Structure 1
Amino acid sequence: MPARIHIVGASSSGTTTLGTALAVRLGAAHLDTDSFFWEATDPPFTAKRPEAERVALMEAALAGADAWVISGSLIGWGDVFVPRFDLVVFLHVPHAVRMERLIARERERYGAAIEPGGAMHAAHLEFLAWAQAYETPGFPGRSLERHRAWLAGLSCPVVEIAGTPSLDESVARVLAAAE
């Protein structure tokens, strides 16, 4: 069974949730790309780490690990890890569901700070605009178009999970594909 799995999808598609569940089920390490992409700041997600530093930190985290699950997106900076993948899982959640999840997560994390007049309101609106553009053709950020092109170039098996199956159903599909 593949022990090196990468889970990719749009923001709030469930990559971290599925990655955590799979890592527990497989007895594998779980790494989230946000932990490598972003420097630790307050508020979070405001300062990107230099690419070489991201790669070095992830290399160190993977050193000696036979089994791991990486959730999030490595596109544009983590191609050095692609040859190590045994399986890639692509989560494609309907836009409305994804945005509802994203807004709920932002409210849970930041509360009143993202409301009009709050210290993070402008950053929140900027993030929502970025996330809204995922399905927009030609969008230069993390996008469905870029994900599809990246997935098409992989040599390992790719499993797409579309819609909103339960977490248990998604885990079962990945485990079945990994056999």
Structure 2
Amino acid sequence: MVAIRIHIIGGSGSGKSYCAALLGEKLGIAHYDLDDIHWDPRSDEYGVKAPEAERDRRLLDIVGRDAWIVEGVYRSWAEPSFAASDRIIVLMTPLHVQEERIWKRYEERVSGAVPGKKRETYEGIVNLLAWNRDYNETKLPHLLRNWAYADKMLLVHDNRDVLGLFEP
């Protein structure tokens, strides 16, 4: 196992989970999805947040470890992860690719073709697409211009390039 701490960010459908799983396997490191910490898995309703104290405790437990990969786009409450990370991978996947992936994932889950722990609704996906467009066109560029962690950032335009970032 390599002792490295990596945070992966990017819009919805950018490939964060995919890249985290690939890197985790390659480096022998556990990977964590911040959605699993942010949303309350005990709720029967879509979009119910976990209690903040529980969410924050779980995040601090992860970032206190010697090696990890965290993936998620959250900023304010995920600050401890950014501060503790050695590298922050920023996935710059084209917006149209992200939108195709979001729709495909939704259709697969709704049809039952792929089991999912998330209970999306059509309205929720439409809202996600709008949020994701704003994130990619406004929030992410602003973050990249003004972030205190610029020295840790690795910009990736093709997810296949992620594995090459951490060659022995």
**TM-score, normalising length: structure 2:** 0.81
Deviation of 1:146 after TM superposition, in Å, equals 4.5
Do 1:38 and 1:47's aligned partners in 2 also have CA atoms closer than 8 Å? yes
Q: CA–CA distance in 2 between the matches of 1:171 and 1:165?
A: 8
Aligned to 1:115: none
Displacement of 1:102 after TM fit?
Answer: 1.1
After superposition, the Cα gap between the structure-2 partners of 1:49 and 1:165, relative to the gap in structure 1 and judged at 3 Å, is closer
1:175 and 2:166 equivalent? yes
2:152 equivalent to 1:157:
yes
Q: How has the CA–CA distance of structure 1 residues 146 and 31 changed in structure 2, closer, same or farther, with 3 Å as cutoff?
A: farther
Where structure 2 has 5 or more consecutive residues not aligned to the other structure, the ranges are 113-119
How much identity, in percent, do the aligned residues show? 26
- List aligned pairs for 1:8-19, cutoff 5 A: 8-19=9-20
> How large is the Cα RMSD of the aligned pairs?
2.4
| Other-structure match for 2:51 | 50
**Greater CA drift, 4-13 or 74-83:** 74-83
**Distance (whole Å) between structure 2 residues aligned to residue 102 and residue 29 of structure 1:** 25
Query: Could you tell me which amino acid in structure 2 is paired with residue 31 of structure 1?
Result: Y
Matched, 1:111 2:108: no
Give the distance between the partners of 2:159 and 2:136, measured in 1 at CA.
20
Does 2:77 match 1:77? Answer: yes
Contact 2:59-2:81 within 8 A present in 1 as well: no
Q: CA deviation at 1:108?
A: 1.1
**CA–CA distance in 1 between the matches of 2:51 and 2:144?**
25
1:148 aligns with 2:144: yes
Letter in 2 for 1:175: F
Distance 1:145 1:21 in 2: 26
Aligned-partner Cα distance in 1 for 2:30–2:89: 16
Q: Secondary structure at the match of 1:89?
A: strand
- Any gaps of 5 or more consecutive residues in structure 1? 113-118, 138-142
State the one-letter code of the partner of 2:67: A
Letter of the structure 1 residue corresponding to residue 40 of structure 2: E
Paired amino acid for 1:76 = S
Instruction: Give 1:37's aligned residue.
Output: 38
Amino acid corresponding to residue 158 of structure 1 in structure 2:
M
Q: What is the TM-score normalised by the length of structure 1?
A: 0.77
CA distance change for structure 1 residues 26 and 165 in 2, over 3 Å: closer, same or farther?
A: closer
2:111 and 2:142 map into 1 onto residues whose CA distance is 32
